[in-house]
Amino acid sequence: MIRVLIVDDSALMRALLTRKLEAEPDITVIAVAANAAEARTLIKSHDPDVVTLDIEMPGMDGLAFLEKIMTLRPTPVIIVSGSTHEGAAATARALQLGAVGCYAKASANRSLADDDSGELADLVREAASVRLAARPQSSRPATAPAIKRPAVRSQAAPFALSPEVIVIGASTGGVEALNSLLAGFPEDCPPTLIVQHINACFAPAIVQSLDRAARPRVRLAESDHPLQAGEVLLAPGDDKHLMVAPAGSRGYRAVMRAGDKVSGHRPSVDQLFASAARTLGDKALGILLTGMGEDGARGLAAMARSGAHTIAQDEASCVVFGMPRAAIALGGAREVLALDAIAARIFAPTKVIS
């Protein structure tokens, strides 16, 4: 059973979230708290697997409390926030501070009333896996199967990279990772397209947050937008796939296309990467960051087969190693690097190997 602590100053919201999660056979709500002080005591006494956290609370607000949790007792946290401008901005900040997921309160009310597809429960399951993956090997049960780590081909020396377009995919823990990665991008970086699995109502605030931290301009992707150096485009998460396509005889453009979910997602990292493989071949660079599941693994492998350079984030720096692990197993990663080494690998001067 996944043990959840709900922290929210609204009695109604505590009841709604409890009802929703208790309907799941593998999830139990072990306690609820109305403020940070109550939550702190309950975390110490109950050691929950996952915490759902409201941002707007009396006394210590959710962001301040999240910082304390991440510093003193790291625990997977899902932000349950309003989808107003203020709520979305605070949620974007929380994801940068280490929250592993976000859920819109409007969706929470609708979920409980209409018995939706279980978005909140799925987020809780992902968050619980974050904690299990982060535990040291010695704390695993004796009966737990050993993890088989795919072999990674190392390179004798780095060679220069000069991609015309960069494509990036991320999921759980991805907003924090993107914030770190883009901080190392130069102002005139190649045009960059990103698919981050996120609720669409939070995407504009995440773009604003990333834009403040990055030297290139970060904006929401729009269909038929020409790709330009110094610009980073994030998929808005509005039930359309983000892809790269040719723009006339020269250049490229971002396109948004409706379609079924691919690898369980829309927008899908696999769709973005596959379009880069078709359109750009060896002129593209693909980066697959932290995330649950396998979205992006087949697409990164397709890019590698097309001659593109491909990078997967390493296990030690991932919140969840699922997506990079799957790509490595398929032979899709030419390099496996720590998060803080990726930007330097792309943009730092290197000796060209002839």
Q: Which residues are catalytic?
A: 171, 197, 295
* Count of beta carbons in the 10 Å neighbourhood of residue 41: 12
Which residue in 101, 110, 41, 104 sits closest to 76, CA to CA? 101
**d(C-alpha 158, C-alpha 259), whole Å:** 39
* 262: three-class secondary structure by DSSP: strand
17 φ, ψ (degrees, to nearest 5): -65, -40
Identify the burial level of 275 via C-beta atoms within 10 angstroms of its C-beta, where 0-12 means exposed, 13-18 middle and 19 or more buried: buried
**d(C-alpha 278, C-alpha 296), whole Å:** 15
**d(C-alpha 56, C-alpha 42), whole Å:** 19
CA atoms lying within 13 Å on the CB side of residue 165: 28
Give the tokens for residue 196: 């981050």
